[in-house]
Amino acid sequence: MHGFNEKEMKMLKRLDSPAKVQDFLCRLRYNPKDTCMSPSMVLRKRCCHCVEGAMLAAAALRLQGRKPLLVDLTASRRDLDHVIAIFKENGRWGAVSKTNHVVLRYREPVYASIRELVMSFFHEYTDSKGRKTLRSYSDPVDLSKLDGKGWMTSAKDVWFVPDLLIKVKHYPILNRSQIARLRRADPIEVRVGNILEWKVKKG
């Protein structure tokens, strides 16, 4: 189904709830490399970064009968963007997310809108100096529209996915005046935010 082999389908079918998808992502090593592996390749390599994890989550959620939806979160130039897989339950939005940090993780489906969901990341979305850096979010991208390009099972990097995420409409969440008045996170918050789940080799 969807091009996955039998072994891959067996793994994905075990992930029959968003919470199980998140638990699975947390067990995968963090990938520090500049790659964009498909869900199939992530399952083989057993590692991923945020975009790769979001795509795997979207594929797993799709097998649950949900739409494979991604949302792009954009940051200031001082920080990195982030991508989440979103889902809806009982009229409320939640998110599955892969990160190597303490925050920017799973969100329970309790948010009334996508903007409300995104704003739940705002306070903790900081750089290494405690500056709050989240600036905008995208319209949801339905990855089923990219099925013809093989986003789920390609053996090659699927850079066309983040390329599309960049191009879709984004909504700013702050104006210049608000940005100028932002308070930095407390030192203890910065220390917690800098904790890594997986050690990343340098060089």
pLDDT block averages, 10 residues each, the chain of length 203: 89 97 98 97 97 98 97 96 98 98 95 98 95 98 97 98 98 97 97 91 58
Q: Are 190 and 126 in contact (CB under 8 A)?
A: yes
Q: How many CB atoms sit inside 10 A of residue 66's CB?
A: 16
The pLDDT of residue 200 is 83
The pLDDT of residue 2 is 78
The pTM of this model reads 0.96
